[in-house]
């Protein structure tokens, strides 16, 4: 169970970091396609941020405390801060990189959930994996 709790904590930090990165892209995108990218980045950050609370609640279901606080997340995350002054394509590439890290963290947590016989958590993670793979497809298609 400790492996699952640790994996979920790292996932929580990565998801939080990605949501902040997507929100920064949403706020700061410029250019001819502003409206399209503003909406696209908004969709991403709303979805990703929407998974923060369920991840934390899954940690609590494991009878552990969810990590909290920016300094704690900064130590746990594998995602670097974004560069808000970038153009839309670079913002997409940066989000794609962050998304791939989240997909990796989901995979680690999923394996730990299966090993701990936590089917509900595994199901949740499977659904999040599917959504992040959709974001990967859309971000890749945007930068092609």
Residues 59-70 pLDDT 10s? 999 999 999 999
Structure-derived torsion over alpha carbons of residues 89, 94, 97, 103, reported in degrees to the nearest 10: -100
φ and ψ of 29, to 5 deg: -65, 145
Architecture of the domain whose range is 2-143: Up-down Bundle (1.20)
The residues spanned by each domain of the chain are 2-143
Tens digits of residue pLDDT in 6-32:
999 999 999 999 999 999 999 999 988
Q: Band the pLDDT of 85: cuts 50, 70, 90.
A: confident
- Cα–Cα distances (Å) from 63 to 5, 7, 26, 57, 100, in that order, read 9, 14, 36, 10, 29
């Amino acid at each position: 169970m400790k492996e699952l709790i640790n994996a979920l904590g790292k996932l929580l930090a990565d998801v939080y970091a990605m949501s902040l990165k997507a929100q920064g892209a949403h706020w700061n995108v410029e250019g001819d396609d502003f409206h399209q990218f503003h909406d696209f980045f908004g969709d991403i950050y709303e979805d990703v941020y929407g998974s923060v609370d369920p991840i934390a609640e899954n940690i609590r279901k494991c009878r552990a405390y969810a990590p909290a606080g920016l300094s704690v997340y900064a130590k746990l995350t594998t995602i670097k801060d974004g560069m808000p002054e970038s153009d839309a394509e670079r913002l997409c590439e940066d989000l794609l990189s962050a998304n791939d890290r989240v997909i990796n963290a989901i995979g680690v947590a999923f394996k730990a959930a299966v090993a701990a016989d936590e089917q509900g958590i595994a199901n949740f993670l499977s659904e999040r994996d599917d959504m992040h793979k959709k974001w990967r497809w859309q971000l890749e298609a945007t930068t092609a």
